């Protein structure tokens, strides 16, 4: 039910975006977002984009894991 | 797939598992309250990656499962009416009501259609002006904004043949109910996508009043393990707090625009939750300004006496007091093809997940 997937906005017309989900083009509404742009990765649920991804935070989460990896190797 | 595959990296999954094994000494219980977490935990075999002193419990996080049976009974009555098209998310179609299911009504000739979004239901209302389109709205705060947006769109277009039967529920009242019922849990994995909308302030009382930790978790294996690690650290140091693991999508302030829309269209109300009874201010109802889009106001829906399926212990499973395998009906009488209760029907229900992924 809470299934949400990160997808890329391929095109935007008003509040309607086209996103590519495993090769299928889905029409979704961006009416819940402020200032969506083509190229943004957004979280989609029940036909609506709920949030834009924070790419810096995504990178930080993965970098933190790499650090943890280094810690576990050394201990 | 970008932003998915990286969070499934098997080397990092193993490293997280190793660190949790090293750090975690206390016997602890962690509850998740999100159907998608229930599914992810079993799909990715998370339990097998944890030491035996960590007990993962599934709580009341599946919206289909916690919805009281009278909702299905009302939907069934609506489906029987002339010139009606019922639109619903897929899960609801097989959920047993007191006497029937939407699937059975469809087989008997009712027009029941599965949709991915309320927007599809609105499209049907535009193209089928001779029919009354009814959308069955269930889900938590992840889904409520889209229903609100749909109702606003229906108002803008002045649709005369569209309404919503609303059963949206909200967090965190059930988390409070679980704690107050004395169900043992030392910390919570909080629902990642609900929190995208709500932000995290609403969880503060769980730390301040009940001294239990909360970590807002994503849904990939790395997200869930990292969240469990964060809770383990809190518990080992006895420092409960609210933390976000799912920082790539969850901001502390949430999505204000989505919340404003919800508040514009809905009011809070008390509701009956399967397994937990009535919880105050735990559900949404459509405001009177939008009553022309409220199926309960538009139609005179009469239902008979409600009855829960015999032998079904869904209520106990939803509180984490029983595992699905404790149920006498599990896997024998009650299966996904022939479900007795809601927890077996919904793809996010604990019983369905246990059955599908062979857990015990």
Alpha helix (H) ranges present in B110-238? 118-127, 144-156, 173-180, 192-198, 204-208, 221-236
pLDDT at B360: 54
pTM: 0.93
What one-character DSSP code corresponds to residue B82? T
Phi-psi region of A47 (alpha: psi -120 to 50; beta: other; left: phi over 0): left
**Distance between CA atoms of B144 and B84, rounded to whole angstroms?**
23
- CB-CB contact of B196 with B202 (8 Å): no
**Distance between CA atoms of B89 and A73, rounded to whole angstroms?**
46
- Record the tokens describing residue A41, joined without a space: 């990765």
The residue behind tokens 């009906």 is B329
- CB-CB contact of A37 with A9 (8 Å): yes
- Partner residue opposite B197 with nearest CB, options A5, A50, A57: A50
Query: Cβ of A69 and B120 within 8 Å?
Result: no
Cβ-based contacts of A21 with chain B (< 8 Å): none
B36–A contact, CB cutoff 8 A: yes
**Distance between CA atoms of B146 and A32, rounded to whole angstroms?**
8
- CB-CB contact of B28 with B186 (8 Å): yes
CA distance A74 to chain B (A): 12
- Beta strands B28-32 and A24-29 are unpaired
Helix (H, G, I), strand (E, B) or coil at B342: helix
- Record the tokens describing residue A2, joined without a space: 């809470």
Confidence class of residue A48 from pLDDT cuts 50, 70 and 90?
very high
Cβ-based contacts of B145 with chain A (< 8 Å): 32, 48, 50
- CB-CB contact of B212 with B187 (8 Å): yes
* Residue B240 exposure: Cα atoms within 13 Å on the Cβ side: 18
For chain A, the domains span 5-74
Name the interface residues of A facing B (CB cutoff 8 Å): 1-6, 8, 22, 28-29, 31-34, 41, 43, 45-48, 50-51, 53-55, 57-58, 60-62, 64-66, 68-69, 71-72, 75
Sign of the Cα torsion B225, B227, B230, B234 reads negative
pLDDT at B310: 87
Query: Which residue, B6, B39, B344, is CA-closest to B191?
Result: B39
pLDDT at A5: 84
pLDDT at B359: 67
Query: Which residue, B193, B236, B238, B230, is CA-closest to B214?
Result: B230
Cβ-based contacts of B2 with chain A (< 8 Å): 6, 8, 41
Run of H or E including B74: helix B69-80
**Which phi and psi (to 5°) does residue A8 adopt?**
-95, 135
- From first to last of the 360 residues of chain B, give the pLDDT tens digit: 788 888 988 988 999 999 999 999 999 999 999 989 999 999 999 999 999 999 999 999 999 899 999 999 999 999 999 999 999 998 899 999 999 999 999 999 999 999 999 999 999 999 999 999 999 999 999 999 999 999 999 999 999 999 999 999 999 999 999 999 999 999 999 999 999 999 999 999 999 999 999 999 999 999 999 999 999 999 999 999 999 999 999 999 999 999 999 999 999 999 999 888 899 999 999 999 999 999 999 999 999 999 988 889 998 998 888 999 999 999 999 999 888 888 898 888 899 989 988 765
CATH numbers and ranges of domains, chain B: 1-309 (3.40.50.11740), 314-357 (no CATH)
Q: Does the structure's ipTM exceed the value 0.85?
A: yes
Cβ-based contacts of B226 with chain A (< 8 Å): 61, 64-65
What rounded mean pLDDT belongs to chain A? 85
- CB-CB contact of B324 with B354 (8 Å): yes
Cβ-based contacts of A55 with chain B (< 8 Å): 248
Write the DSSP string, B90-116.
Answer: GGGGG---SS--HHHHHHTT-EEEE-S
Domain A5-74 = CATH 3.30.1320.10: no
Cβ-based contacts of A25 with chain B (< 8 Å): none
Interface test with A, best of B142, B156, B228, B256 (most A CBs within 10 A): B142
Q: Quick one: average pLDDT of A3-17? A: 91
- Partner residue opposite B248 with nearest CB, options A48, A54, A68: A54
- Partner residue opposite B35 with nearest CB, options A1, A55, A72: A1
CA distance B171 to chain A (A): 13
Query: Which residue, B196, B94, B134, is CA-closest to A45?
Result: B196
Task: Tell me the C-alpha to C-alpha distance, in Å, between residue A1 and each of B25, B222, B223.
Answer: 34, 21, 18
Q: How many residues does chain B have?
A: 360
Query: Cβ of A32 and B261 within 8 Å?
Result: yes
**Distance between CA atoms of B188 and B168, rounded to whole angstroms?**
22
Cis bond leading into B172, ω under 30°? yes
- CB-CB contact of B132 with B87 (8 Å): no
Cβ-based contacts of B352 with chain A (< 8 Å): none
**Distance between CA atoms of B265 and B189, rounded to whole angstroms?**
29
pLDDT at B1: 74
Burial of B169 (0-12, 13-18, 19+ CB in 10 A): buried
Query: Cβ of B142 and A71 within 8 Å?
Result: no
Cβ-based contacts of A50 with chain B (< 8 Å): 142, 145, 193, 196-197, 249, 255, 258
Q: Locate the DSSP E strands across chain B.
A: 28-32, 54-58, 84-88, 111-114, 132-137, 162-166, 187-191, 213-217, 242-244, 266-273, 277-286
Query: Cβ of B194 and A60 within 8 Å?
Result: no
Burial of A39 (0-12, 13-18, 19+ CB in 10 A): exposed
- Record the tokens describing residue B299, joined without a space: 């139609």
């Amino acid at each position: 039910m809470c299934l949400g997937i990160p997808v890329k906005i391929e095109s935007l017309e008003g509040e309607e975006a086209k996103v590519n989900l495993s090769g299928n083009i889905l029409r979704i509404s961006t009416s819940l977002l402020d200032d969506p742009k083509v190229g943004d990765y957004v979280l989609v649920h029940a036909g609506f984009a709920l949030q834009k991804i924070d790419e810096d935070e995504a990178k930080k989460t993965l970098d933190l894991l790499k650090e943890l990896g280094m810690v576990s190797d050394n201990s | 797939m970008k932003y998915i595959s990286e969070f499934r990296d098997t080397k990092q999954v193993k490293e997280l598992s190793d660190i949790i094994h090293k750090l975690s000494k206390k016997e602890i219980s962690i509850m998740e309250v999100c159907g998608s977490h229930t599914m992810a935990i079993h799909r990715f075999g998370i339990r097998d990656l944890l030491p035996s002193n960590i007990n993962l419990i599934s709580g009341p996080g599946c919206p289909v499962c916690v919805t009281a049976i009278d909702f299905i009974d009302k939907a069934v009555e609506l489906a029987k009416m002339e010139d009606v098209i019922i639109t619903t998310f897929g899960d609801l179609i097989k959920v047993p009501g007191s006497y029937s299911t939407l699937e059975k009504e469809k087989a008997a000739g009712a027009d029941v259609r599965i949709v991915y979004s309320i927007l599809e239901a609105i499209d049907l209302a535009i193209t089928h002006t001779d029919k009354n389109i009814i959308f069955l709205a269930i889900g938590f705060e992840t889904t409520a904004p889209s229903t609100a947006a749909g109702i606003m769109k229906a108002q803008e277009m002045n649709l005369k043949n569209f309404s919503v039967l609303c059963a949206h529920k909200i967090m965190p009242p059930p988390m409070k109910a679980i704690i107050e019922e004395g169900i043992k849990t030392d910390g919570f994995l909080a629902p990642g996508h609900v929190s995208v909308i709500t932000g995290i302030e609403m969880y503060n009382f769980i730390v301040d009043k009940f001294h239990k930790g909360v970590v807002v978790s994503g849904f990939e294996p790395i997200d869930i393990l990292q969240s469990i690690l964060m809770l383990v650290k809190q518990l080992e140091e006895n420092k409960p707090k609210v933390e976000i693991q799912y920082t790539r999508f969850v901001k502390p302030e949430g999505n204000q625009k989505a919340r404003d829309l919800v508040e514009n269209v809905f009011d809070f109300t008390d509701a009956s939750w399967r397994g937990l009874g009535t919880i105050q201010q735990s559900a949404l109802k459509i405001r009177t300004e939008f009553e022309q889009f409220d199926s309960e106001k538009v139609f005179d829906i009469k239902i008979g006496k409600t009855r829960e399926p015999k032998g079904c212990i869904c209520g106990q499973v939803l509180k984490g007091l029983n595992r699905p395998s404790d149920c006498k009906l599990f896997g024998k009488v009650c299966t996904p093809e022939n479900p007795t209760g809601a927890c077996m029907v919904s793809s996010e229900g604990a019983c369905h997940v246990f059955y599908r992924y062979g857990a015990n």
